[in-house]
């Protein structure tokens, strides 16, 4: 206010137009009272009294243009002490205005409490709702949802009010929360909304979240139940919708951030494509997964099938599609949390079994088989082993583990299948797991017990030459620290494949006392190398005796202790010291620099 002859003036703070004058000459006014309203750039500005007093003069009227400093109202003040305007105002912080009430009500339409029929349908199939799964996965109170008010693009065929109530979030719940305390993007199709199909709006929602995953470098957990593309949307422009960006954006995330797929129930077509791009697929026992659902199969003239006849777990687990088979959604969420934890860093809380148990883990009888998983469970931190693709590639074990809280990938030969020989499926399994670990800076431990690469006319029909060679080209491209422990057999190309291509490639290559080595299996080496000598012995019994003597001599020559004298391996150790070697190597390896992009173009989906 400025001093004028008739009193103190309320001045204009800006250039604008007088919209209304709300007091008259002679009116008594108080601090905070509205005097007039100005409009500037389509926005209204309330001019309030900063003093109490009596209005002496009003030099402006509605419609006048005023400029900064122009007097608007002249006041004969009663109290010259200035008081803050807000001091006279009281606000009810619990009051819910109509506009806010409408927002709260609209959000409520998508909640389970407002959809009892949808919840009941899930109960009939012994499944949880989408929001129950998301709430179980994320840390309490951490989830911020994107696009919850979206509805199906069917305004041309259905009333908006119906779409609001029956197609909440367009069948896609998506947002950012924390899992194990780390920011994570969580997405889920909602099967109770149009069978979890991919609509125009939820495709756009995927685009939005996928771009955020790339921008923020956040892992993604995706619940994929649903029937694929939705033919019933009417509000878009176009013919096929094949120019949508979701699959391109999603595929581009491979190798950049961890991608976790969880499925329960039916998952067909586009939903299955989303699932198939994931680094790891976790699926419940009631899952059916296929690139084509019943409608597509029938439409192609290929017969009529029920959904539960397509891609059941009896097919998709042993063929390697599913990495981890679980009983239900609760177990799936628990496993997803554990899986993500290996990509979230070291754990300070760990324990392990008595390592002296490893001394007797491998039978003294070199021909006697044993359970390699018992070795792994003993060697790793207690409760830290998470095996992937257990029922596929049976000759190879791939698992995420921890040693003194540090995450590692583990690849081990399984001597109960083909004596640990590497076949096509086992090689694919190992090579793909190497890519996964390398992409996200997880060191790798190889436990080798292999007579080599599988041989024979039948195995060559599996394209073995190409499949097994994946282990060599992938191993040679590893940038993470990796190490090899030969627990028993270390023969031929198979042993080299379990060491990144050479015993000198790992940070260390050591053996337990039961280790044995050779360029190929001992029996085969004798038969090939001493064929003439053996054939020269006519008596079959004498020939067999000579054969066994030669094998024994080669075994003595190839024992770990003798091999170490030639420095082909770094040491032969007491199995008790295995964890000490691993930790020493991990602590010696340089910490990888922060990544600004991908290390590998992508992780093979297979």
Residue with more model confidence, 221 or 31: 221
Q: Give residue 356's pLDDT band: very low, low, confident or very high (50, 70, 90).
A: very high
Q: Where are the beta strands (DSSP E) in 318-470?
A: 324-326, 386-388, 396-403, 406-413, 444-450
What pLDDT does 527 receive?
76
| Domain 108-341 matches domain 355-515+559-588 at the CATH topology level | yes
Q: Which fold is adopted by the domain 108-341? A: 2-enoyl-CoA Hydratase; Chain A, domain 1 (3.90.226)
Residue with more model confidence, 551 or 562: 562
Cα–chain center distance at 399: 16
The CA radius of gyration of the chain, in Å to the nearest whole number, is 36
What pLDDT does 502 receive?
97
What pLDDT does 5 receive?
47
Give the chain's end-to-end CA distance (angstroms, integer): 76
Residue with more model confidence, 534 or 583: 583
Question: For the whole model, what pTM was predicted?
Answer: 0.88
The β-bridge partners of 491 are 518
Q: Is the pLDDT of residue 209 over 90?
A: yes
Whole-number Å distance between alpha carbons of 257 and 276: 15
pLDDT digit string, tens, across residues 405-441: 999 999 999 999 999 999 999 999 999 999 999 999 9
Q: Is the pLDDT of residue 82 over 50?
A: no
**Mean pLDDT to the nearest integer, 380-400:** 98
Q: Give residue 81's pLDDT band: very low, low, confident or very high (50, 70, 90).
A: very low
- Mean per-residue pLDDT of the chain: 92
pLDDT digit string, tens, across residues 173-196: 999 999 999 999 999 999 999 999
Q: In the chain, where are the structural domains located? A: 2-88, 108-341, 355-515+559-588, 520-557
What pLDDT does 88 receive?
46
| 20: enclosing H helix or E strand | strand 16-21
Whole-number Å distance between alpha carbons of 265 and 263: 7
pLDDT digit string, tens, across residues 15-37: 999 999 999 999 999 999 999 99
pLDDT digit string, tens, across residues 128-161: 999 999 999 999 999 999 999 999 989 999 999 9
What pLDDT does 159 receive?
93
Q: What share of the chain is helix, strand, coil (3-state, %, to 5)?
A: 35, 25, 40
Among 83-97, 295-309, 469-483, 522-536, the range scoring the smallest mean pLDDT is 83-97
DSSP-assigned letters across all residues of 416-430: TTGGG-B-HHHHHHH
Q: Which fold is adopted by the domain 355-515+559-588? A: 2-enoyl-CoA Hydratase; Chain A, domain 1 (3.90.226)
The β-bridge partners of 220 are 185, 259
Cβ atoms of 336 and 137 within 8 Å: the answer is yes
Query: Could you give the angle at which helices 329-341 and 130-137 cross, rounded to 10 degrees?
Result: 30
What pLDDT does 269 receive?
93
**Mean pLDDT to the nearest integer, 335-356:** 97
Whole-number Å distance between alpha carbons of 176 and 186: 6
**Sign of the four-CA dihedral 592, 594, 600, 604:** positive
Q: Is the pLDDT of residue 78 over 70?
A: no
Q: Give residue 2's pLDDT band: very low, low, confident or very high (50, 70, 90).
A: low
What pLDDT does 80 receive?
43
SS3 109: coil
Query: 53-68: b or e for each residue (b if 16 or more CB lie within 10 Å)?
Result: bebbebebeeeeebee
DSSP 591: P
Q: Which fold is adopted by the domain 2-88? A: OB fold (Dihydrolipoamide Acetyltransferase, E2P) (2.40.50)
pLDDT digit string, tens, across residues 485-536: 999 999 999 999 999 999 999 999 999 999 999 877 777 777 777 788 888 8
What pLDDT does 553 receive?
80
What pLDDT does 244 receive?
82
pLDDT digit string, tens, across residues 86-125: 444 577 899 999 999 999 999 999 999 999 999 999 999 9
Whole-number Å distance between alpha carbons of 258 and 321: 17
Determine what percent of the chain is predicted with pLDDT higher than 90. 81
Q: Is the pLDDT of residue 379 over 70?
A: yes
Whole-number Å distance between alpha carbons of 80 and 599: 71
**Mean pLDDT to the nearest integer, 320-337:** 98
Q: Which residue in this structure is represented by tokens 């002496």?
A: 56
Alpha helices in 16-151 (DSSP H): 98-108, 116-124, 130-137
């Amino acid at each position: 206010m400025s001093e004028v002859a008739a009193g103190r003036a309320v001045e204009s703070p800006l250039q604008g137009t007088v919209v209304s004058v709300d007091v008259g000459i002679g009116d008594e006014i108080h601090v905070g009272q509205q005097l007039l309203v100005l409009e500037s750039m389509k926005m209204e500005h309330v001019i309030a009294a900063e003093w109490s007093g009596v209005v002496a003069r009003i030099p402006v009227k509605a419609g006048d243009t005023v400029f900064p400093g122009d007097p608007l109202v002249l006041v004969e003040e009663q109290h010259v002490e200035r008081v803050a305007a807000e001091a006279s105002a009281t606000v009810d912080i619990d009051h819910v205005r109509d506009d806010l009430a409408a927002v709260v009500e609209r959000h409520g339409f998508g909640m389970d409490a407002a959809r009892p029929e949808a919840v009941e349908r899930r109960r009939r199939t012994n499944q949880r709702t989408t929001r129950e799964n998301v709430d179980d996965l994320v840390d309490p109170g951490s989830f911020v949802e994107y696009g919850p008010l979206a509805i199906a693009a069917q305004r041309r065929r259905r009333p908006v009010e119906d779409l609001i109530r029956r197609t909440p979030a367009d069948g896609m719940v998506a947002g950012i929360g924390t899992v194990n305390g780390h920011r994570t993007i969580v997405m889920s199709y909602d099967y109770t909304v149009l069978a979890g199909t991919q609509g125009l709006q939820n495709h756009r929602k995927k685009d939005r979240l996928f771009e955020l995953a790339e921008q923020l470098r956040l892992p993604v957990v995706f619940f994929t139940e649903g029937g694929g593309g939705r033919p019933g949307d009417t509000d878009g422009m176009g013919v096929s919708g094949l120019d949508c960006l979701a699959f391109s954006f999603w595929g581009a995330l491979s190798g950049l951030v961890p991608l976790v797929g969880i499925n329960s129930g039916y998952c067909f077509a586009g939903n299955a494509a989303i699932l198939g791009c994931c680094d790891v697929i976790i699926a419940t026992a009631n899952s059916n997964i296929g690139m084509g659902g019943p409608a597509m199969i029938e439409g192609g003239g290929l017969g009529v099938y029920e959904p539960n006849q397509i891609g059941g777990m009896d097919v998709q687990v042993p063929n390697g599609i599913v990495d981890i088979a679980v009983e239900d959604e609760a177990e799936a969420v628990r496993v997803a949390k554990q899986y993500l934890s290996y990509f979230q860093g070291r754990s300070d809380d760990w324990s392990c079994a008595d390592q002296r148990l490893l001394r007797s883990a491998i039978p003294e009888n070199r021909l006697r088989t044993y359970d390699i998983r018992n070795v792994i469970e003993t060697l790793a931190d207690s409760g830290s082993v998470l095996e992937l693709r257990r029922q596929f590639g049976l000759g190879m074990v791939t698992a995420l583990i921890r040693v003194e809280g540090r995450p590692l990938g583990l690849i081990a030969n399984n001597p109960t299948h083909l004596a640990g020989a590497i076949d096509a499926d086992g090689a694919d399994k190992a090579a793909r797991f190497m890519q996964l670990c390398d992409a996200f800076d997880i060191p790798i431990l190889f436990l080798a017990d292999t007579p080599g690469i599988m041989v024979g006319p039948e195995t060559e029909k599996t394209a073995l030459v190409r499949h097994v060679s994946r282990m060599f080209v992938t191993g040679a491209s590893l940038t993470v620290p990796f190490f090899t422990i030969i627990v028993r057999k270390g023969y031929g190309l198979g042993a080299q494949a379990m060491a990144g291509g050479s015993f000198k490639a790992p940070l260390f290559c050591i053996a337990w006392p039961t280790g044995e080595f050779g360029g190929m299996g001992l029996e085969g080496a004798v038969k090939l190398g001493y064929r003439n000598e053996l054939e020269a012995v006519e008596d079959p019994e004498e020939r067999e005796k000579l054969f066994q003597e030669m094998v024994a001599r080669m075994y003595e020559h190839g024992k770990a202790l003798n091999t170490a004298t030639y420095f082909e391996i770094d040491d032969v150790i007491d199995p008790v010291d295995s964890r000490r070697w691993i930790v020493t190597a991990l602590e010696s390896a340089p910490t990888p620099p922060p990544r600004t992009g991908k290390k590998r173009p992508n992780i093979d989906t297979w």
